[in-house]
Amino acid sequence: MNELRVSGLVKAYGPEARVLDGLDLDVPGGALAAVLGPSGCGKTTLLRVIAGFLKADAGTVTVAGRLLGGPGVHLPPERRRIGIVPQEGALFPHLSVARNIAFGLTGLDRAAKRARVAEMLDLVGLPGYGDRMPHELSGGQQQRVALARALAPQPHLVLLDEPFSALDSGLRGAVRAEVRAVLRQSGATGLLVTHDQQEALSTADVVAVLREGRVAQCATPEELYHRPSDPWLASFVGDAVLVPGTAEKGVATTALGRIPLAVVPAGRREGLVLLRPEQLQLAQPGGPDAEGVVTDVRFFGHDALIAVSVDGLERPVDIRTPTPLSVTPGQRVGVRLTGEATLHPGA
Ligand SMILES: Nc1ncnc2c1ncn2[C@@H]1O[C@H](COP(=O)(O)OP(=O)(O)OP(=O)(O)O)[C@@H](O)[C@H]1O
């Protein structure tokens, strides 16, 4: 299988700038992994080292069991069997769609090349587009051609560097879904670099979050969202409600109420209890629930975030609620908890 294994990768641009600091990452063959992280955390550097454009100072890169880079080994990019889908402007503007796709096809005769180009155009849903020039395509079509070009030489791994950032938001979701489907069909492993957490969660099979030159957590989107390893990850991936609490016998007690814990710590522990805003519900005041005053309402169309200053808590908490809205700022409300939380001891 086409699994990607990155082990102990170190890359510094100078004595002060160690961008990758012993990074480990394993992606199963055929899976699409997203690399997510704050700006400047080293996402592009990681991609460039894997592609072979940059040499690592230490560590190894292996794809489909082949050592591509490591001590004394540095295969050039064209020998790595890695396809690349760069950001916007990826296509050669003076070449037709067919010649763009055929660009990396070496060692095939003309008929075989033509057949492969046609196969790729079918795969990305653009049959008959071979004679068009890139400027005659929409942004979404251009990204599909870029994907076809990357997949044409049958790579083991495809690197996608923020490939959707130039598309408007309406188109982005559809193109993402298509790209994911095409990658699955091709069998290639994918590595998608993005700083858009919604994109990472909705598109990838696994998400690796980079922090300080290493992978802070690599997990399925659901696991990352519901079981982040620490409060920083919780706040970086999605909206987080973090409140002090005490855990005992699998239940956390907080100013918001009591809530079962997904992972039960031994004995009695104190720490930060993580909830997501959709786990908080508005309730009638004067009942058994925690209470507070609505301080702010942010409307998003399908739902809204209601900030509530809860008695006993320093800062307001966010509650995600369906619309139409039933509350206004200044109103006193009850707050009820649902689901399970995680406790981050000593945080
Ligand atoms: N050629 C270079 N020489 C010196 N420093 C560099 C070079 N390329 C990148 N850096 C630095 O390395 C760090 C990581 O850069 P990189 O482009 O890998 O981050 P990134 O996570 O892709 O960022 P972004 O999300 O903003 O694109 C940054 O601090 C950047 O300034």
Distance 43 CA to ligand 1 centre (A): 8
> Closest Cα to atom 31, ligand 1: which residue?
40
pLDDT at res. 89: 54
- For residues 31 and 189, the answer to whether their CB atoms sit within 8 Å is yes
Q: Which two tokens stand for residue 34?
A: 């997203």
Chunked into runs of 10 residues, the chain (347 residues) has average pLDDT values of 94 88 96 93 94 96 96 93 83 94 88 92 90 91 89 92 79 82 89 91 95 95 92 91 92 94 82 94 89 94 93 92 88 94 81
Rounded CA gap, 243 and 317, in Å? 9
Q: Mention every residue, 6+ apart, whose C-beta is less than 8 A from residue 53.
A: 77
> Closest Cα to atom 6, ligand 1: which residue?
13
* ipTM higher than threshold 0.85: yes
> Closest Cα to atom 18, ligand 1: which residue?
42
At residue 204, φ and ψ (nearest 5 deg) are -95, 155
At residue 216, φ and ψ (nearest 5 deg) are -75, -40
Is the CB of residue 130 below 6 angstroms from any atom belonging to ligand 1?
Answer: no
Q: Which two tokens stand for residue 161?
A: 């560097």
Distance 63 CA to ligand 1 centre (A): 24
Q: Which residues pair with 144 in a beta bridge?
A: none
> Closest Cα to atom 24, ligand 1: which residue?
39
Element (H, E) at 317: strand 317-322
What sign does the CA torsion over 46, 48, 49, 55 have? negative
Q: How many CB atoms lie within 10 A of CB 40?
A: 10
Domains and CATH numbers, the chain: 4-231 (3.40.50.300), 240-345 (2.40.50.140)
pLDDT at res. 131: 95
What is the per-residue pLDDT across 267-320, written as a single tens digit (0 to 9) for each?
Answer: 788 999 999 999 999 999 988 889 999 999 999 988 999 999 998 899 999 999
